[in-house]
């Protein structure tokens, strides 16, 4: 016979199981069938730079707060650049010298980091270049890298997730007229469409929810996806072939982008530029900070839905569910006109890639453990973790020891992921990258050359780009120095 105590215990257990069941079943998000794609997709405006007396292209960027209609009929307190939410698209060419005038009208200090840009460390917008409220920061550098889709976002110490989540982010498109061999759709906003993916959690009044999910191993996951800040968007397509420039500008979510009808499309570019050859794929998975350029063909009059299918995170069942691994999210409906302007298929060869000579490359190892450290150490603004000699080529080996998702981003350089066991890397890792997903238990090896900009005083960052992890300390610092030089003491940063 059951005693009262046993009965109470059994009731508690049943209760706990019920709660666990509810938490479990409420953890995934599926928005299929819940969209009518009523809003026209917003296209971030292109910001035309001025040219100053020195011939530099000057971009004026005002960081400010405001209110935005993220959900129809509501007003959300947001932050943005030259507007209340997100920022304009910047565009420059290889060979241009740019001058950025970043004015901070926000209520707290922040930075603006040019993600994917090869540039001097003092211009990088890392935590070492804070811009106080009311101050203006003016870095300048010469653009010298292949055509690519880069982006910009704040990178303040401990506060990056918050500032990006409020809306400070934008695209930066680089062109390379000298190396132009690929005929691809390139009319911005017409057949060359930027798609900035961000998930939010908004209450009924449209307020941003800053709460962390108690169980999520990667932090905040939203149930509302905005594309270029647009909820429930559609895009009118008048061209047979459309180029989509995808950016994952979320704080934590991994997207696995494809079409609802599973049609294939042509992957033409990844983080740091065009692939050598186009790849036919049905999915492109993007962890936080990654970009992809694809070309999709549409038929006259059809409507097709761009969707994030459940991503392959490589975690156990529990972590998979609470890291968004079971989520299906509608992104955008493409509505093709009855008559379409024809355009050529992407050419068989898109770009020439420089080969890296790995004969003398040294290997550095980075171990990601837990959710707040690399090689057992948390980010310390005063500590240089690695010293790299200018002109060297290195292999970096990143191992995820934790059971949860991580990725890895390196400032300044772009890298080539190395295939394992003599095999070529998968299609999405065959081009130049600056951010790469590292599944639990997995080791990713990549090679990079460290050219230009030796500076023993100012470090570049490497970090997990899941922003909650970065803010907790999953980040380290390296300096590039003249061969034989030592880094200088960093204790005097602002």
Site residues (vs Cu ion, CB under 5 A): 406, 464, 466, 469
| Nearest to Cu ion of 139, 222 (CB atom) | 222
Q: Which tokens sit at 96?
A: 């241009």
| Nearest to Cu ion of 112, 402 (CB atom) | 402
Partnered with residue 476 across adjacent β-strands are 462
CB of 401 to Cu ion, least distance (A): 12
Residue keyed to tokens 């997903």: 437
CB of 440 to Cu ion, least distance (A): 11
| Nearest to Cu ion of 296, 464 (CB atom) | 464
Q: 396 and 366 in contact (C-beta within 8 Å)?
A: yes
CB of 469 to Cu ion, least distance (A): 3
- Note the helical H segments in 202-250: none
In sequence order, the 6+-apart residues with CB closer than 8 A to the CB of 233 are 37, 39, 40, 41, 42, 227, 332, 333
CB of 436 to Cu ion, least distance (A): 12
Q: 192 and 182 in contact (C-beta within 8 Å)?
A: no
| Nearest to Cu ion of 169, 466 (CB atom) | 466
| Nearest to Cu ion of 281, 474 (CB atom) | 474
Q: What end-to-end distance do the CA atoms of the chain give, in Å?
A: 71
> CA distances (Å), 293 to each of 1, 211, 267, 285, 334, in order?
67, 32, 6, 12, 16
The upper half-sphere exposure of residue 420, i.e. CA atoms within 13 Å in the direction of its Cβ, equals: 6
Q: Are strands 113-115 and 140-142 parallel, antiparallel or unpaired?
A: unpaired
| Nearest to Cu ion of 111, 435 (CB atom) | 435
CB of 444 to Cu ion, least distance (A): 13
CB of 288 to Cu ion, least distance (A): 9
CB of 466 to Cu ion, least distance (A): 4
What DSSP line would sit under 79-115, residue for residue?
EEESSSSB-PBEEEETT-EEEEEEEE-SSS-B--EEE
| Nearest to Cu ion of 43, 439 (CB atom) | 439
Eight-class DSSP state of 164: H
Partnered with residue 291 across adjacent β-strands are 247
């Amino acid at each position: 016979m059951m005693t009262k105590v046993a009965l109470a215990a059994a009731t508690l257990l049943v209760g706990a199981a019920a709660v666990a069941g509810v938490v479990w079943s409420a953890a995934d998000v599926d928005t299929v069938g819940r969209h009518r794609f009523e809003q026209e997709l917003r296209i971030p405006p292109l910001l035309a730079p001025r040219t100053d007396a020195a011939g530099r292209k000057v971009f004026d960027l005002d960081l400010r707060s405001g209110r935005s209609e993220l959900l129809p009929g509501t007003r959300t307190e947001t932050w943005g650049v030259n507007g209340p939410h997100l920022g304009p698209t910047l565009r420059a060419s290889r060979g241009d010298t740019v001058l950025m005038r970043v004015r901070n009208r926000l209520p707290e200090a922040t930075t603006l980091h040019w993600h994917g840009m090869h540039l001097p460390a003092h211009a990088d917008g890392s935590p070492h270049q804070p811009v106080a409220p009311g101050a203006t920061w003016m870095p300048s550098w010469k653009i010298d890298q292949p055509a690519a889709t880069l982006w910009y976002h704040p990178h303040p110490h401990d506060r990056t997730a918050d500032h990006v989540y409020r809306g400070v982010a934008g695209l930066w498109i680089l062109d390379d007229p000298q190396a132009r061999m690929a005929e691809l759709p390139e009319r911005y906003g017409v057949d060359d469409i930027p798609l900035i993916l961000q998930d939010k959690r908004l209450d009924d009044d449209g307020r941003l929810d800053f709460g962390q999910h108690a169980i999520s191993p990667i932090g905040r996951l939203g149930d509302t996806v905005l594309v270029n800040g647009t909820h429930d968007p559609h895009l009118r397509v008048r061209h047979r072939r459309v180029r989509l420039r995808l950016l994952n500008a979320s704080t934590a979510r991994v997207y696995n982008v494809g079409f609802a009808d599973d049609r294939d499309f042509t992957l033409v570019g990844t983080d740091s530029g065009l692939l050598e050859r186009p790849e036919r794929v049905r999915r492109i998975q993007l962890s936080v900070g990654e970009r992809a350029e694809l070309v999709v063909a549409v038929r006259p009059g059809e409507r097709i839905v761009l969707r994030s299918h459940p991503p392959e995170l490589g975690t156990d069942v529990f972590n998979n569910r609470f890291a968004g691994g079971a989520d299906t999210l509608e992104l955008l409906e493409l509505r093709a006109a009855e008559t379409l302007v024809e355009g050529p298929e992407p050419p068989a060869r898109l770009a020439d890639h420089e080969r890296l000579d790995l004969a003398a490359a040294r290997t550095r190892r980075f171990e990601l453990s837990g959710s707040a450290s690399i090689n057992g150490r948390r980010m310390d603004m005063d500590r240089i973790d690695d010293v790299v000699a200018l002109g060297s080529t290195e292999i970096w080996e990143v191992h995820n020891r934790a059971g949860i998702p991580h990725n890895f981003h390196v400032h300044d350089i772009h890298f080539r992921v190395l295939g394992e066991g003599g095999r070529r890397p998968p299609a999405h890792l065959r081009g130049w990258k600056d951010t790469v997903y590292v599944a639990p238990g997995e080791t990713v090896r990549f090679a990079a050359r460290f050219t230009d900009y030796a500076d023993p005083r100012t470090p570049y960052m490497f970090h997990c780009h899941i922003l909650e992890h970065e803010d907790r300390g999953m980040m380290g610092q390296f300096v590039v120095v003249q061969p034989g030089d030592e880094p200088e003491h960093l204790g005097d940063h602002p």
